[in-house]
Amino acid sequence: MKKTILTLTLFTLLMSQAFTQGSLSSSLGNLTTFSREEQRLMLNTDFGKAELTVYEAGIIRIRIVKDDFRKDFSYAVVAGPGKAGYTLKETQDRLVVHTEALRLDISRNPVRFSFYTSDGKLLNADDPAFGTAWIGTEVTTYKQLLDGERFIGLGEKTGNLDRRGSAYDNWNTDNPRYGPNDDPLYVTIPFYIGMHNSLVYGIFMDNSHRSRFNFGASNDRFSSFSADDGEMDYYFIHAPSVAGILEQYTHLTGRMNMPPLWALGYQQCRWSYFPDTEVLNTAQNFRDRRIPLDVIYLDIHHMDAYKIFTWHPDRFSNPAKLLSDLKAMGIHTTLIVDPGIKVEKGYEAYEDGLQKDMFAKYPDGAVYTAQVWPGWCHFPDFTKPAAREWWGEKFRGLVNDGVTGFWNDMNEIASWGNGYTPHLVEFDWEGRKTSYREAKNVYGLLMSKSTYEGTRKLMNDHRPLILTRAGYSGLQRYTALWTGDNQATDEHMMLGCRLVNSIGLSGVAFTGVDVGGFSKDASPALFARWIGIGAFSPFFRSHTHYDTRQAEPWAYGEVVENISRNYITLRYKLLPYIYSCFRESSLTGMPVARSLAIDYTFDDKIYQYAYQNQYLFGPSILVAPVESTRDLVKVYLPAGEWYDLHSGIMLNGNNEVIAESPMHKLPLYVKAGSVIPMQKPVQSTADNPGETLFLHIFKGSSNASFTYYEDDGTSYNYEQGSFYSRRISFDPDRREIVLEKANGSKASQIRKVEMVFHGFPDDTRFLLDGKKLATSEGLTDLFNALKPGDPQYLETMHKPLKTLNAGFTVKDGEMVIKWE
């Protein structure tokens, strides 16, 4: 292999040594030699080593150590370096690396990294004095803080959408009473996006030790990211847009698999529903009241003495029959799964795990033990491949009983005594061995991986629902995520929107909160408002604490029950749109709940306190969350044209509007030009929605498109091309709507299309492939699941929208609808 070597002068070496003497902090020194090997450039300095790898034209990895690099390994990154070409140019004071998308300047004395666009615009640069430096084992990279620079992302973090001026810790923590500014929480995603001067970049630091990110908190000089130990290992990512950064980041860390369709329906949970008769009564209540439901949860009281993989002998004496009865009602069952294995003679999981050496240990070989729900427990070492396989196989009995969802909880690791696991506890780490200091933040990720891989093998090609509370970058490959134990307050409801949006900005699309609040009692107005917001969340589950009031929709009275029914039913009508958005997430990493920072990155208004909770649900629906105590709210509509989804009125963007927001009316807007596929209402995804797809077209002045997607909703056959997808485009200049040729080997369930035209003049004529379509004026009520005359119908809920309607039979070839 061709190598290039450069040796610097003795004078430079001596100057570098003098620079570091007497300082508590030592930084990466002056360049002494370098060598090039394929995609890598290795740098030796008089204090420390660095290595850069060109992964893609827009991704460069930087590794920095004081001494020697350890064996390269990551639980987060699944992509290897591509074959992107780069050039290396040497000058007297620097090395310059060029790719198609980036220019990286590496100063020689001392070694510092500055990233530019390919045409020379500064993206990000090391602080010239500090660069990457060490204080003991702690390693920190200091970056220049640029004028007007904003920061977003970093996963499950409280605070504002714009992270500028704040600092955060990553140390997965069970905090059941977290406040609106508490940190850390349950999840570590050490990835953020920086923005300034119409430019964007991303930085992902792949180090699972306790870490800190400082975005100019308590200083005006630098931003920084650090870890308590290990390498400085980060990926610098550049693309023209935030969406491009997310696509690159999820290329590195992986993307979600398609969830089962039923996991996108409404889900009901309580700590706890028991015995089995209460579970069935709750499910039957949903059916009797015509409130759609797809999933019911069994919390810790379903187990025998809280022992995982068991059923309580009295409360759930015939679990297979219970689950069969629920399945006959179109309802799936999800069980809580905790990692603690009770220390108890005769308990199969304990005896088997001990015999096969599956648990984390102290350095002297004794098995680590801590107290949690079952009492004294051992904990599987999920960094050990054999333990992951062992854990996955333990689900065989539950799967055979009919369980299809698995809710991974307490995996920070949480235990009594504030979850303080001693740092000296050792983990296998794929045979290398490490301490809890490095393993803690990945424990939840690896538990989810073990649960997913095990249940996928056992479920005969049916997709499980996997849910987790804790995790690390890459968790999206295995699991959905919820934000832990929130509280029934307006403040927490609004915080939940920011958390979901921030997690979406961090590569995790399938995420949500405990709708209604886990702790405390929600007021009727709060529950009603939260159900409305929850209907426009990727993961839609209501969940409450055992000592709160019952929190099913009917528990708050007839009005709230009707509001809940309407929003949950609307969710089911929107499933073709939502499922298609999840497909996009699986292909590109684009989240389903999208912070406005994705599409309107440099619009200052979206970062203001009053508007930072707003988001797009999919590409088209703007959600403006509002507290339950407010009947009027100011909403910011970004650039473009927008339809009020309640009134049908078109509004101009770049504009603040006052929206009515009584209990039943969440402010919702649709981007003009949007194509939104919908279906008839159903009570669960097990019901047949029929062969008609309702395409809602919102007239606008800009081009737009949407890709409709369907598969069988349960299997992995889509991975082999068994799906049906179709791009639908709206072109106002050509005055046409095009259903492009269908892709995939699956035949569509759709035979007919009913087009619902919003904002078109009453006398508009539509032609399909040159032939005039019959149109009729109609009224569309997106919200009401009930009809006038039904005993529970409330006249004041919503008013139907005036539309033009046209229907036709679908064919797989291109179809063009023109209007005149």
Both tokens assigned to 638: 């970004």
Asked if 485 is an active-site residue, the reply is yes
Catalytic residue, chosen from 409, 438, 514, 711, is: 409
Asked if 412 is an active-site residue, the reply is yes
Assess contact for 585 and 618: CB atoms under 8 A.
no
Cα separation, 291 vs 272, in Å, equals 21
Q: For 586-741, where are the E strands, in sequence order?
A: 593-595, 615-617, 621-623, 632-637, 641-644, 650-652, 655-660, 668-671, 675-678, 692-698, 704-710, 724-731, 736-739
Assess contact for 195 and 215: CB atoms under 8 A.
no
Catalytic residue, chosen from 233, 299, 412, 599, is: 412
481: left (phi over 0), alpha (psi -120 to 50) or beta: beta
Residue with tokens 């570091």: 20
Dihedral in degrees, nearest 10, Cα atoms 153, 159, 160, 166: -80
Both tokens assigned to 764: 């508009």
Of 713, 692, 532, 740, residue with least CA distance to 621: 532
Estimate the crossing angle of helix 575-588 against helix 242-253, to 10 degrees.
70
Catalytic residue, chosen from 183, 247, 401, 485, is: 485
Of 589, 599, 598, residue with least CA distance to 246: 589
Q: For 354-454, where are the E strands, in sequence order?
A: 370-372, 375-378, 405-408, 426-427, 434-435
Rounded alpha-carbon distances, angstroms, from residue 307 to 360, 373, 395, 470, 534? 18, 8, 13, 20, 32
Cα separation, 742 vs 708, in Å, equals 10
Which residues partner with 213 through β-bridges? 168, 225
Give burial (CB, 10 Å; 0-12/13-18/19+) of 119: exposed
**Angle (CA) 796 532 537, round 5°:** 155
Look at strands 766-768 and 815-819 and give their pairing: antiparallel
Q: Which residues are catalytic?
A: 409, 412, 485
